[in-house]
Structure 1
Amino acid sequence: MPPPLSVLRSSRWLTPLILLLGGLCFSLIWILLALHLDRQAGWMALLAALDAALILRFTGMRRGPARILLAVTATVLMIALALWGIVASQLGFMLGLSPWSSAAKLGLAHAWTLLGLANTPADLICMAAAPLLAAFAAR
């Protein structure tokens, strides 16, 4: 038997909060994995897309364009946060800074240059395909 409608309405505010926490945790896992492997691990973008879509499904968000848009947006933000964290951590380790201190000092142009040097074509393909996978999985 499904829960009463009043329970479903009162828990709708949890969806963005759970998506935010899930996205932050996933980005942190991606950063740690990339630091451990000493490469970008662009394939994690595909898992980020599935993670966002599954979180939205499991929290009970209704089907439709809003769920698709939210899944795609969350995927893109997870990719951006993970890439920023990876670059900041690797650069911070070389300069003797903590990752969060390096992330605060890292400029956009410098990060873009370092990401261009670090990402392989396979990483870029995975990151480009991730929003499409999120849209497909969230429908």
Structure 2
Amino acid sequence: MTSVKPAHPAPSRTSHWLWPPLLLIGAATAVVAWATLALGTGRQHGWIALAAALQAAWLLRVGGMPGGWPRRLLAATTALAVSGTAQWLIAAGHIGGQMGLPAWLAAPKMGASYVCTLSLLANTRLDLLCLALAPLLALRMAR
């Protein structure tokens, strides 16, 4: 008996368009959660950079982005962007709070070198280590 192949193969259930909105929503949520936690507790919480790196790699996989170097580099870039944006908002929240401004209104008024100086002063060695390891973790996990 010969096997009969269908004329049209079954459609693939993977959606390759889902990763951009997932990544954007996940990154924005991570930044807001990180900044809120840091401003509420008065600590930097650098470990969240590692969680954001894992989240970026996972969302790209779940969203259907094909594996390889583009996915790995996008995950690492997202981890860097989340870390940088969160550090910027945390610094803006502290400085803006002293001037009566919310973080989102103080953030555009701050320069990059000022934010870098404030972040280096506020982060502990463990926080800085976590910030440095986050893109490497994202590269590894987004294979």
TM-score (norm 1): 0.90
**Equivalenced residues, count:** 134
Counterpart for residue 65 of structure 2: 61
Query: Displacement, 1:116?
Result: 1.5
Task: Specify which of 40, 44, 54 is matched with residue 44 of structure 2.
Answer: 40
Segments of 5+ residues of structure 2 without an aligned counterpart are 1-9
Larger radius of gyration: 2
- Identity of counterpart residues, as a percentage? 46
Task: Specify which of 67, 73, 81 is matched with residue 77 of structure 2.
Answer: 73
Rounded to whole Å, the distance in 2 between the matches of 1:50 and 1:130 is: 8
- Greater helix proportion: 1
Query: Displacement, 1:14?
Result: 2.7
Rounded to whole Å, the distance in 2 between the matches of 1:62 and 1:13 is: 11
For the pair 1:4 / 2:7, whether they are aligned, the reply is no
RMSD of aligned alpha carbons? 1.4
| Stretches of 4+ aligned residues off by more than 6 angstroms | none
Rounded to whole Å, the distance in 2 between the matches of 1:93 and 1:4 is: 54
Cα shift readout 1:68-126 (whole Å, capped 9, x = no counterpart): 01110111100011101111111111111121110011111211111121011111100
Cα shift readout 1:10-44 (whole Å, capped 9, x = no counterpart): x4233112101110111100001111220111010
TM-score (norm 2): 0.88
Segments of 5+ residues of structure 1 without an aligned counterpart are none
Rounded to whole Å, the distance in 1 between the matches of 2:17 and 2:61 is: 14
